[in-house]
Structure 1
C-alpha cells in the first residue's frame, strides 16, 4: 500500500508528465522523445521572466507548464548532508582519501546516492521536495588541491596530490551518478573551479595568479578528468578572482578551458553569494545587472544564494546579452532535471522507486565502519606498544576528543541515529575493565567549566531542566512548539529540523528555567551561539549578543544567596545557515596536571584523544582561539597545552598512545619523538570510536596512508596567500617532512618484487609494470602499494616525484599477490611553461613500494625501482 500511495503521489505531482506520456499536449511531455527535443520544446514555451526565475538555486514552480518548484542546493560530501532525516555518515573526505581505496569510495557514493533518493522520495511524500537539501543535485565533490595545511576546508578534499584527487573524485562521481544509460541516480558537481584553497577570511576578495605550469600541473588535472572522462554533470565556480577576473566570469577558466577546450556541456553554478562578489567585493562590476550578464556570458548558468540574476531581465532589455544567451543556460539546467527523471513517471525511473528502508541500512552502516577502519593511519608504534592487550584491567581515556560526538562527523555532514565516540568504542571493547575518563583540557587551554552538579538545580513546571519554546520566525512571535529539555546544548546543520517540527533556518527559541542556588556563593554562566541571543536573570537582561555573525562564548558571573531561586531566560535567533546555542554553568577550574597524573598513574595504559576539531577548522568560521582564524589555522602546531599534558603522562612511565583527530596536517615534533604510539583517526564518521578501538586493540590491522604531508612546523610553510607550488606538498617540498605523503604503518610487514617492466617506451605509448607483494609477517593486513615517477634529465620544470598509481590489497600472513600498474601516455607527460602537455624526454624512474621512494617505512619494507628511457 505504501508504494502504491507514493506512486500515486508522484503521479499527481507530475500529472502533466504522467498523463501526457500517453496523450502529450506538448512535445516536452512526450517521454518517447529525446531529452534534447523535450528540453528545447519546454524552454521555447517559457517567457523571459520565467526563464530567468529558473536560473536561481531556489527555482519557483511554473504551474501553467507543469514545472514544479525545485531547489538545486544540496550536499553529499560523505553521506547525505543537512537533511532532516537520519542518514548514514561516512568518514570525512580527507579520511576517505587516506584509505587509498577507490572502490570503497565508489560504493560509498553509490549508497549515498540511494539514501539521497530515499530522502527526496520522502520529501515528495511530505510535500517538501522543493526545499533546500531535498533535491538530487549535489554540490560535491570538492576536488580542490589541499596545497596548504592551514586551509580549514582542506578536510573536504582528497588531499594534496593531483593524481590521487582525480582518481578518488572520479570514482566518487561514477558511484553517485550511477550507470543507467538514460537517467542519473544523482547529479554530482565538481567544485570549486579553480585555483581555490583559502584563506577563508579573504575568499570573497582575493585575486590569485599562478604560472601556466602550476595551473595545468596541479590545479586543473582533477577537474579535467572529471569533465572530460567521468562526465560530471555540474561544475561550481569559485568565489575568488583568477588573474583579476572573478572565477565565475573568467575568460581563461570558464570560456577557453571549460567550455572550449574541454567541451563541457553540463551546468555551472556559482558558489553561493558568488555573483554578489563581482560588484560588492572584487569591484570588477558596477552592479548586479552587469555582473549577472557577464557571468552568464561566461557560462555560469545558475546563481546560488542571492537573487542578482533577477536583473538579467533588465540586462536583456538593455542589450547586455540576448534572450538566446539566457536560453543556453536554461536548457542546460532543464537537461539535468530531465536526466534525473523529474519529468517522467516513477515507473520509468528505477531510482525514483528507492524505498525509505535504504536509509541507514545494515549494508550502509557496515561500509561506514569499514571505511573508518581503512582511513586510520598509524604514524608510530615504538616497541610495539600497539596493539594494546584486551586483558587490560584499567585504562585511562583522556582528552577533548575522547567523547566528542561532534568532531567525528566532520563538516558538510548528515546526522546518524547512532554515533560512537572513542570513549564509547573502548568501553565496548573492554566491558570488564575499569575505564577512567576525563576531558582534562580544552583544545587550546587547561581551564574547564565544572558544571557537573548544576543541572540538578534547574527546575521548571515541576521538571528538571528547561522549558524550550521554538518559533517558526526570527522574532519570537506566534504560537511556539514547546518541549522540555534537560539542557541547552544544540548544534543544528542546515536543513535539519528543530525538535522535529521547525526547520533550522530563520527561527528563534526561548529557554526558561529556575535556578536554585547552593552554598557556592556565585556561579558563572557561559553562553555561545551563532547569530544572536540575550540572557536575562529575574527579568533583567544581563548579556546581549543580539547582532548577526557575532561568535564566541560570553560569560556572566552571578553572585548568589544560598537557597534562593533565580529565573533564567535565554532567547536565541538564527538566520540562514547552520546554527548552535549552548549554555553551561558552574565554576571555572584550572586542571591540575599533577593531580590528574596521580589519578591515572596506576592505569595499564593511557590513551590521549586530542588533535583539533571541525569546531575549530572549517568554512568561514568565527573561532576566537589562538592558532585559528576564520576557519583556517594560523599555526599547524598541535596546541601547546596538549603537548604539556602528554609530557605529564609520559612521566608516569605507563604506555601512552596518542589518538589524533584532525582534518588536516598537524605538526607534532615532540610527540613523534617521545610518544610511543600515535594513531591519526581524522573525522571518521558515525563509527569512528569502534574503528579506533578495533585498531588500538588489534582487531583491525591499520593500513591508511597520509594524503597530505605532515610538516615539522610552521617554518616549513610558504606564505598562505602564495598559490605558487614552489616548496609545497611532497611533489615540490625541498625539506624533510615529519611524516610524508603516502606514509602509514601496519602490524605486519611486506616485501616487493618487480616481475616485469620495460626499459624503454615510445612517446604516446602506455607503460605496464607488473609487481608482486608478499605479507612476510604473522598477521593478515592490507597494504597500499604506490607507484611514483621520478623525472631524470628533463630540461623543463618537473615535480621532485609524483604518484602515478596505487592499489590497496588484502593479504593473509605469508600470502603473495601479483598485480599490474598501467601508466597512460598522459601519465608520462608534463605541461610546459605555456601549459601545453608534452611527453617526457630522456630517462625516468618508476618506484613501487608502500611509501614514497625516498621515505623509510618500517613495515612496508623495500622499494623496487626501474629506470625507463623515453624514445
Structure 2
C-alpha cells in the first residue's frame, strides 16, 4: 500500500496552488477546483482543542479525514507541530490548519487591558504592544487572533467594555487601525505576525442593561454613526478576518443578517476576507428562537454571509444535506472556502507550514527582556491621575514610612485582567505586584509595611476583622498607599455587574483609614469605570491604574515616585453613580440642555437629585505639571466643502517637571439637517514638553472632520458655521474659535 503522504505529493506536485510565485487568490481557486464537497465543508469547521471545562479534545482522526479547517485553544509549538504534520502530510491535499487564539492584550507578556491602554493616546505604543503579542503568539504556532475588539459602549456595567478603546467612534477607529497594523505587520507570512480578526460585528456594545449577550435595539443611524466606524477603519487597515456578534440588529441575529454581512460589510465597506462566527453562534440561532433546528440555523447563517462556523460543528454535520436538498448552493460554499484558503495562502502556511512551530524560538521570544520593558512603558503610559490634592504625588523624599494596604496590593492574577488571567499563556507568578514594585523602587531608606486590610473574595463584604490591624499600620506611616478595585474575573466576558461601586468591604476599609488623618493615595485596579465618588472624596490622590499586566507593580511605582509623569487621559466617562448610566460626552443636542446645574429647574435636561455632569469626563487626566494653551489660529486656503484646514495653537509646559499633554480638538456643527452631537472629537496631539517649553501644535482637519450622515445616510458636508474647541478634556476647553464653510 502506498503511504498517504506520497499520494498527496503525487497528486499536487504540478498544481498551481503549490507554486509560491502565484498570487494567493489564484492559488486558492486552483486548490478549490480539486476539492470534494466534504473537503470544502471541512475547511469551514473551526473546532476547539480545549473545551470550556478545560478538557482536551482528541482530533487526530478528524484532521486526517479533512474535517478540520482551523483550531482554537491549541497553544505551544510542540503540540501544534504534531497536529499540523497530520494535516499537511496525512491528508489528500495537504491543507494546513490555522491555529487561532484569544490574544487580546498579550500572549505570555501581558500588557494593560485594552481600555486602559487606549488611555495612553499613544497609537504607536498600542501598535507596538500588538506587534509583540503577535511575535509571542506566532512563536507558539498561533496564526490568527480574535482581536481587536472595537465595540463602542456607553455602559460600564458591561464587562467587555474592558476590551474596547472607549466610547468615541473617531478615537476607537484610530485604535482599531493601530492594533490591526501591529498584529499583522507588513508581511503576514512572517513568523512574527498574526492575522487579526476584528470583532464583534456589529453593535455588540449595545448590551441591554449592561448584561453580556443581551440583545438591545438601536437605530440604523446609531449603527452607522457609532458602531460601524471602527470596523471600517480596521477593514481599511487590511484586517484579515472578522467575527460576527452574538447579538442582533433590527430583530435579525448578526450571524444570519444579510443586511449586515452582505449589503453593508461586503458591498459598502468592501470587506473581502473571511467572516467567522463567535463561539457556538450558529447553534445560538436555535436558542434565541429564529431557527427551528440545526439545518435551518446553518442555512440561515451561510446564506447570509458567514464563512466559518466556530465550535458548533453544525456546518460539518448539515451542509451536505442542505446542498442535496437545494437549500444551499455549492457556489455559496465555494465562496466561503475560497476566503479560508486565501487566508491560509496569505499567512504563508502552504509554503512553510512549520516555520511557526519552533520550540527553540518559542523559548527565546516569550517574556523576553525587551518585551517586559515595553510592557512597563505601556502600563505607565496608560495610567490616569484623577486627583492630586496639594501635589501629594510624586512621593517626596521626606516620606520614610509607607503603609501599603489592600488585598489587591499583593494579587498577581488580578493584575492580568480576565483574558490575561484566564485564557492567555500569561503566568500569574510572573506578574510584579504593587507591593513588590513599591519595595523595589523605594529602596532601603524607606520602611514599607503591608496589611491586607480586608478580604476581597467576591462582592460581599469579608474580612472586616482585619481593618483594625490596617489602621494600626496606617497610624505609624507617613503615607498610605491603598490598593482598591476588582478581581480579574469581575469584568471581561460575562463580567456584567448591576452596581459599579467598589466590591466587598473596600469602602469600609477606606473610611477607617480616612479617619486616621494620614494622607491616602488610592491606586485603582479595574477593567471598567467605577463609581469613585467616595474614594475621591476620602483620598488625597487617586491613580487609575486599570489592569496593568505583567509589569504592573513597577509601572505604578514609576508613576507614584515620579520616575514617570502621568500622561493618560480617560477614553470613557466615569459617572458619579450607577444611575447616570449611560453617560458619555458626545450625546445628542437637546432643546432643554443646560450648561449649569439647577436642581430646582423643572424643565431642564437634568436630574433633580444629582448633577448631569460626570465625575471624570472623557479626555480627563492630570499631570504633575500644568499646561497652558494660547494663540489659536485657523488657517484655510479656502472655505469650500472639499478643503483641508489647519488649526494651530501654542502649548506650554508651565511647570518645572517635564510632561506630556494630550491636547484634544472638538467640533460642534451649529446648524445641521439632522440632530447632531453636542461635540465630537475630531483630532488630538500627544505632545511631549520639557519644563518651561512651548511648542506650536498643528492639527489638520479634512472635509470628513465636518461631515455627517444626512437623512438619507449619505456622508455630506453642509455649509455653515462650526465651533472649534481645543482643550485638555471634553469639559476643560481652553481655546474656542469658529469656522465657516461656504
TM-score (norm 2): 0.85
**Cα distance change of structure 1 residues 437 and 833 upon mapping to structure 2, 3 Å threshold:** farther
Which of 158, 166, 172 is the equivalent residue of 1:159? 166
**Cα distance change of structure 1 residues 742 and 316 upon mapping to structure 2, 3 Å threshold:** same
2:276 is the alignment partner of 1:287: no
CA displacement, residues 295-317 of structure 1 (integer Å, 9 cap, x when unaligned): 11121100112111121111111
**Alignment correspondent of 2:102:** 75
SS in 1 for 2:242: strand
**Cα distance change of structure 1 residues 674 and 833 upon mapping to structure 2, 3 Å threshold:** farther
**Alignment correspondent of 2:83:** none
**Alignment correspondent of 1:98:** 119
Q: 1:486-635 residue pairs with structure 2 within 5 A? A: 590-591=464-465, 593-620=467-494, 631-635=495-499
Higher Rg of the two aligned structures: 1
Q: 1:383-402 residue pairs with structure 2 within 5 A? A: 383-402=390-409
**Cα distance change of structure 1 residues 614 and 841 upon mapping to structure 2, 3 Å threshold:** farther
**Alignment correspondent of 2:727:** 849
**Alignment correspondent of 1:126:** none
2:695 is the alignment partner of 1:817: yes
**Alignment correspondent of 1:408:** 415
In structure 2, stretches of 5+ residues that fail to align are: 48-67, 70-86, 596-604, 607-611
Which segment drifts farther, 342-351 or 312-321? Answer: 342-351
Q: 1:232-381 residue pairs with structure 2 within 5 A? A: 232-279=239-286, 281-310=287-316, 311-345=318-352, 356-381=363-388
2:650 is the alignment partner of 1:772: yes
Cα displacement (A) at 1:200: 9.3
**Cα distance change of structure 1 residues 183 and 399 upon mapping to structure 2, 3 Å threshold:** closer
CA displacement, residues 279-329 of structure 1 (integer Å, 9 cap, x when unaligned): 1x2211121112112211121100112111121111111111111110000
Q: Distance in 2 between matches of 1:782 and 1:719?
A: 27
**Alignment correspondent of 2:14:** 25
Q: Aligned residue pairs: how many?
A: 670
Q: Distance in 2 between matches of 1:332 and 1:708?
A: 36
2:77 is the alignment partner of 1:50: no
**Alignment correspondent of 2:535:** 671
Which of 462, 474, 491 is the equivalent residue of 1:447? 462
**Alignment correspondent of 2:60:** none
Q: Distance in 1 between matches of 2:13 and 2:437?
A: 58
**Cα distance change of structure 1 residues 14 and 90 upon mapping to structure 2, 3 Å threshold:** farther
Which of 105, 111, 131 is the equivalent residue of 2:132? 111
TM-score (norm 1): 0.73
2:729 is the alignment partner of 1:865: no
**Cα distance change of structure 1 residues 230 and 351 upon mapping to structure 2, 3 Å threshold:** farther
**Alignment correspondent of 1:422:** 434
**Alignment correspondent of 1:552:** none
**Alignment correspondent of 1:697:** 561
In structure 1, stretches of 5+ residues that fail to align are: 1-12, 81-86, 121-134, 449-589, 621-630, 856-861
**Alignment correspondent of 2:61:** none
2:559 is the alignment partner of 1:682: no
Could you tell me whether the CA contact under 8 Å between 2:140 and 2:362 is conserved in 1?
no
**Cα distance change of structure 1 residues 66 and 740 upon mapping to structure 2, 3 Å threshold:** same
Q: Distance in 1 between matches of 2:175 and 2:6?
A: 40
**Alignment correspondent of 1:515:** none
Q: Distance in 2 between matches of 1:359 and 1:371?
A: 17
Q: Aligned Cα RMSD in Å?
A: 2.9
**Alignment correspondent of 1:470:** none
Cα displacement (A) at 1:434: 2.5
**Cα distance change of structure 1 residues 110 and 341 upon mapping to structure 2, 3 Å threshold:** same
Which segment drifts farther, 164-173 or 664-673? Answer: 664-673
Q: Distance in 1 between matches of 2:439 and 2:5?
A: 51
Which segment drifts farther, 153-162 or 33-42? Answer: 33-42
Which segment drifts farther, 27-36 or 180-189? Answer: 180-189
**Alignment correspondent of 2:508:** 644
CA displacement, residues 385-418 of structure 1 (integer Å, 9 cap, x when unaligned): 1111245322111112111111210122231572
**Cα distance change of structure 1 residues 193 and 619 upon mapping to structure 2, 3 Å threshold:** same
**Cα distance change of structure 1 residues 863 and 362 upon mapping to structure 2, 3 Å threshold:** same
Cα displacement (A) at 1:818: 2.9
Report which of the two has the higher share of helix. Answer: 2
Could you tell me whether the CA contact under 8 Å between 1:212 and 1:833 is conserved in 2?
no
Q: Distance in 1 between matches of 2:254 and 2:578?
A: 30
Could you tell me whether the CA contact under 8 Å between 1:16 and 1:29 is conserved in 2?
no
SS in 2 for 1:383: helix
Could you tell me whether the CA contact under 8 Å between 2:452 and 2:470 is conserved in 1?
no
Cα displacement (A) at 1:381: 0.5
Cα displacement (A) at 1:25: 2.2
Cα displacement (A) at 1:376: 0.6
Q: 1:140-289 residue pairs with structure 2 within 5 A? A: 140-180=147-187, 185-197=193-205, 198=207, 203-204=212-213, 206-227=214-235, 229-279=236-286, 281-289=287-295
SS in 2 for 1:79: coil
**Alignment correspondent of 1:36:** 25
